[in-house]
Structure 1
Amino acid sequence: MRISFIGTGRVAHHLAHALKAQHQIVQIYSRSAERAAALADKVCASAAASMSSLDATIDLLIIAVSDSSIADVIQAVHPYLPNTLIVHTSGSTDIAKLTQVHERAGVFYPLQTFSFECEIDWTNTPIFTEAAQEQDLSRLTDLAAELSQRVYQYNSAQRLSLHLAAVYACNFANYCYDMAKQIVDAKQVDFSLLYPLMLETVQKATQSDPEIMQTGPAMRGDQNIIAMHTAMLEQARRNDLKEVYALMSEQILKRHQPF
């Protein structure tokens, strides 16, 4: 396929590199000409100077921009690529954002956390496809299958539930690691001492029901330990961490000690 991208962020970066192995990346467009040129150079493409200069003969246009920008981008690009299959890569944006403007619309959503510093294991990354037309859905699904062994045809409501769950499983979990590091850093304790515990926790959560795997003072209803931890955070004047600790402890207690 001949594929172009709008966007030069983390998703565009990794997806363009992955697709380059079997497809031709034609153009990269970004509001930042410098970033467009940089990514285009890495994937043997050219940088588009404007949306109006996008090649209308491509097979697929991938919009990999922030959710808030998707509606504006499809409005702007549709007049120049009226017959091209255009997809976004968002987990939380409904396909209707595209279909209300563009007939051949779809979604190509990889459920993964992306950073410029780390490579992606595409084989095990779930990819979710959706399209307004059956033929386009088949094309997107085949494309996804070239990258991943885990390809699913989910609708926008299902995809949104996954994206919300991912915020808890990934973004919030990582912030918990950040808070944990702040606590030990304050006492000059090596954060890496927690690595085996962190890895074991993730392994258990992926091998069994997380509810069953829950441990800790809140699950046991141990108010003495909870009070000790709370006092430590108060003494350190970390009301921000204390608030999170209290909220999460309360919710765990309600789930495991409902009466």
Structure 2
Amino acid sequence: MITVVILGFGNVGSHLFKVFENTPGTRVLQVYTRSMSKETTHNKRFVSNILDITPLADVYIAAVPDDTIHHITSQLDFTNKLVVHTSGGAALEHCSNNNRKGVFYPLQTFSKNKAVDFKNIPICVEAENKEDLSLLTNLGALISQKVCTISSSERSKLHVAAVFVNNFVNELYHISEDILTIQQLDFNLLAPLIKETANKIEYLTPALAQTGPAKRGDKKTIRTHQQLLTTQQKEVYQLLTSSIQKRNISQDE
């Protein structure tokens, strides 16, 4: 049995709590949250004073924003325990030196009220010694089918790649929704296209999956599209069109 304390009950922390609660071999001893709600007030395992955190857990997981990792982990009133964070962009060293440091990074986008299947989520782990790395690997394997040992340097590059395929793509969804809303068209008309585009990546490389006017050099369609866009939308359109065209040129050389 691996015992866990979760520091933070936001998007990531709340999902970790749910999956550990429902996974044989793990037990959540406590959850620290500064904002108690109806959901947490009557559960004695939830505490709002970090000094009330038990020193008896195997792993302490700081599921908090990057700029608060050191502050939160430095307030723990014990030493020589395994304290990890869940950030993709923060280095191992962001955790306080008061305890043994590690990383337990689930590579997924989390929204608090949207369920996810952890079995398909890669868990990226890092630790200062082999024993702690083994513990984190075993903890990850209880909830996921894919656990990877990745250094802070590798993880930072993985995280920026994740921003491109997740956050930036979602912003493009937002732009598309704005365009359709003005015309009183339903954004869900694009849902099958969005799903097919994502599904293609499972069996095609991004280069082979790319289609559209920029890929085929259709200047007439590109000019027509630009006339339909706001100044800000046109800037994004031109930037991405140029990126696709430059990539095509380099591939042809």
- Normalising by structure 2, report the TM-score: 0.92
Q: C-alpha separation between the residues in 1 aligned to 2:61 and 2:226?
A: 48
1:94 maps onto 2:86 in alignment: no
Alignment-derived partner of residue 202 in structure 1: 198
Amino acid corresponding to residue 150 of structure 1 in structure 2:
K
1:120 to 1:40, Cα distance in 2 relative to 1, 3 A? farther
Q: Which amino acid aligns with 1:90?
A: S
Residue 141 of structure 1 aligns with which residue? 137
Quickly say closer, same or farther: Cα 1:150–1:194, change in 2 above 3 A: same
Q: Secondary structure at the match of 2:15?
A: helix
Find out whether 1:26 has 2:29 as its counterpart: yes
Letter in 2 for 1:242: K
Equivalences for residues 45-60 of structure 1 within 5 A: 46-60=45-59
Match in the other structure for 2:12: 11
* Match among 219, 225, 228 for residue 229 of structure 1: 225
- Provide the aligned C-alpha RMSD in A: 1.7
1:245 positional shift: 0.6
Unaligned runs of 5+ in 1: none
How far, CA to CA, are the matches of 2:125 and 2:167 in structure 1? 23
Q: Percentage identity across aligned positions?
A: 37
2:146 aligned residue: 150
The residue correspondences of 1:1-259 to structure 2 (distance < 5 A) are 1-21=2-22, 22=24, 23-32=26-35, 34-35=36-37, 38-39=39-40, 46-77=45-76, 80-98=77-95, 101-233=97-229, 238-258=230-250
C-alpha separation in 2, matches of 1:168 and 1:28? 32
Greater mean alpha carbon deviation, residues 249-258 or residues 168-177: 249-258
Contact 1:110 1:128 in 2 (8 A): yes
Summarize deviations over 1:8-58 as a string: whole Å, max 9, x none: 1010000011111232222221222x14x73475xx652224222211122
